[in-house]
Structure 1
Amino acid sequence: MLFEEQPPEGEARFSDFDEYVRVSEPRTRERASAWKTAIGLQAVDGLRVSDYLVETAQRHIEGEISIDEAQNLVRNYYETRAARLPDEADAQEADKVSVNIAKLLGERSFSFSVPGFLATHRRIFEGVFEHAGMIRRCDITKKEWVLRGDTVLYVAYDELERTLEYDIARERGFSYSGLNMGETIAHIAKFVAGLWQIHPFLEGNTRTTAIFLIKYLRSAGFEADNVLFERHSWYFRNALVRANYRNVKKGVSPNPDFLIRFFRNLLLGEQNDLRNRAMLIDAPAEWSTPTSTPTSTPSSSEAVWANLGETTRRLVAALGESALSAKEAMTALGLKDRKNFREYTLGPALKCGIVCPIYPDRLNHPGQKYRLTVKGAALFNENKPANA
């Protein structure tokens, strides 16, 4: 059967916590979203969580227990069952990894660095893999369903640390100035595809890349619709494979279109068709989907921009590539009432992630200034007047 090596498309998870996301207060929605993402990402390795994990997650979402208590409950559950049910290894991995991911996603701290990337893997797979957080010391290949059994060429083990350092340093120094939202998304997709292709760990590379990506997007001002990772994690992985696969003999080149389509849904709220079978090498013609991506009408960026007040849009234009204190920004806008500035100008910009403080952990820092996020710069470039 053609689909035996992949989860059926659109299959429901044990629990998607939709009710919590739809009607609950913000903190409860955040916890539910984190759990949905954590559980859904297990599909990239064909794993399923247990009913016990779902029940524990619900208790945490509802505020009955803390995330640390949830971790302890899951750990203790398997310590008492391991001797009797050794065949539960896959469920044990899925459960422990899910609760670790839910905890990571509940934290706002983030280090965009090689140590931060390695720490992400360590924290996700702590208590699961002995090599958690450790760079592999051998070369690897992986047979991919979407490549009909062929493999992506991953970075050689003796080049891993240097390649990681290079890719992350290059992204850290990259300027998004002048890019519109489409160009920004294409660049993010290229960076993530390159990071994944390094494959520095023996196992768990896709799940680590996904969580590192989500936290990076947050730092860039994006509140990504993480439900896509819950529903389309297998598509995300296959899209990464196709973005990195080259076979000259078969006339196949790396194709980022599938990954860009995923990111446009993730960050712009578009409804591009996400079907795994469309990515299969030499797929039947009727399985293919258009390579172009539709434009939202109106796009989410246009909607966000239109909903901002006039002074907030002027603030975005005033910041440009610089960082300004609240006083400097008020002067640039010709405003005098500090309270009104914070409530009606700066506040909306911070809330929707287009402006951020340079000292996010010390909002009252004496040297506090504000700058545009990647999202803010892209929104401005996409919506600014032609004569700006």
Structure 2
Amino acid sequence: MPHQYAWEDYFIPGTQTLKNLFGLVDPEELRTNEEDTVASRMLELQTAPVPGTFDLTHIRALHQHLFQDIYGWAGEVRTAPSADQSPMSKDGVAYAPVDRIAPIWTTERARIAKKPTLLRGSSSAADFSTRLARFWGEINHAHAFREGNTRTQVMFFEQLCEHAGYSLDIARLAPQHPETLREAFVDARYYFQLRGDAMPLAETITQVLTPLTKQTAVDPPQTAVLKASLDSQEQNRRFPELRYVQLDPYGLSEESPAQNDDSQLS
């Protein structure tokens, strides 16, 4: 059974540094080591995607793979803040309370299962983005993990998009990309959380989608179990941006961890 962490349990006592398997206390040193290590784990997914059916179990497996070297709670759904504390938030935008994480995933997954073509068979990238954006917005609002949500989400949705017949250019979501959409991407997710309107996120996603010339999967998401390995030609087609990068290939590290806004805990 996963450990039930209180908010303060995630931190090294007397610090604002997350407890980590490196034994590091300095937050900047932890950030650097975390980015490097997660980048390596991202590269591993180039040849061995984590199989799954695009549900909470699947994204937990992705998080566990990416953060297994860093946090003892990798792959575990966060259990804090509690109901009597201020919600987990970033830039003043609150995420779902812990008792809503699983229900959000259940609702969204059921919506997809009820209509298998919801994320497949779209007539255009814009149509697919419109269908996808609400799912992404809800999953981001759930914010299942204490840290590393964005990096896990982009790997999850890159895999889902490929399954649906599209290439998701997540490199353009990085701030250092010459044609970056990072700011628009972040703002659009916040906009969904505040307004419940997924159109800005859909418009952003549309700009980083390209239809695949060859369908790589034929089953609907609720029955798909993706292959654990691909031949070399397929690897290069799927993840060309990963061939030469070394550190944090997507530049998607959380620049500052999401915080609980309770001043006593900050």
Give the alignment partner of residue 180 of structure 1, picking from 111, 116, 123.
Answer: 123
Q: Which residue of 1 aligns with 2:36?
A: 95
Give the alignment partner of residue 185 of structure 2, picking from 222, 236, 240.
Answer: 236
Q: Which residue of 2 aligns with 1:135?
A: 77
TM-score, normalised by the number of residues in structure 2: 0.61
CA 102–237 in structure 1, closer or farther in 2 if over 3 Å, else same: farther
Q: Which residue of 2 aligns with 1:117?
A: 59
Structure 2, unmatched stretches of 5+, are 1-20, 82-86, 220-224, 228-266
The residue type paired with residue 224 of structure 1 is L
Structure 1, unmatched stretches of 5+, are 1-74, 145-149, 246-252, 269-300, 302-350, 362-388
CA 86–261 in structure 1, closer or farther in 2 if over 3 Å, else same: closer
Which stretches of structure 1, 4 residues or more, deviate above 6 A after TM superposition?
none
Provide the C-alpha distance between the structure 1 equivalents of 2:165 and 2:173, rounded to a whole number of angstroms: 18
Greater relative contact order (CA < 8 Å, ≥ 6 in sequence): 2
Provide the C-alpha distance between the structure 1 equivalents of 2:121 and 2:46, rounded to a whole number of angstroms: 30
CA 122–178 in structure 1, closer or farther in 2 if over 3 Å, else same: closer
Provide the C-alpha distance between the structure 1 equivalents of 2:146 and 2:226, rounded to a whole number of angstroms: 35
Assess if the C-alpha contact under 8 Å between 1:124 and 1:208 holds in 2. Answer: yes
The residue type paired with residue 199 of structure 2 is D
The residue type paired with residue 78 of structure 2 is R
Give the alignment partner of residue 168 of structure 1, picking from 101, 105, 109.
Answer: 109
Q: Which residue of 1 aligns with 2:48?
A: 107
| Superposition deviation, residue 162 in structure 1 | 2.8
* Structure possessing the higher radius of gyration over alpha carbons: 1
Q: Which residue of 2 aligns with 1:352?
A: 213
Provide the C-alpha distance between the structure 2 equivalents of 1:165 and 1:173, rounded to a whole number of angstroms: 12
Provide the C-alpha distance between the structure 1 equivalents of 2:107 and 2:113, rounded to a whole number of angstroms: 10
Assess if the C-alpha contact under 8 Å between 2:64 and 2:74 holds in 1. Answer: yes
- After superposition, the CA RMSD in angstroms is 3.1
Tell me the secondary structure at the aligned position of residue 142 of structure 1: strand
| Superposition deviation, residue 178 in structure 1 | 7.5
Provide the C-alpha distance between the structure 1 equivalents of 2:153 and 2:106, rounded to a whole number of angstroms: 15
Give the alignment partner of residue 152 of structure 2, picking from 195, 205, 208.
Answer: 208
Give the alignment partner of residue 133 of structure 2, picking from 189, 210, 219.
Answer: 189
Q: Which residue of 1 aligns with 2:254?
A: none
Give the alignment partner of residue 142 of structure 2, picking from 187, 193, 198.
Answer: 198
Number of positions where the alignment pairs a residue of Structure 1 with one of Structure 2 = 189
CA 132–180 in structure 1, closer or farther in 2 if over 3 Å, else same: same
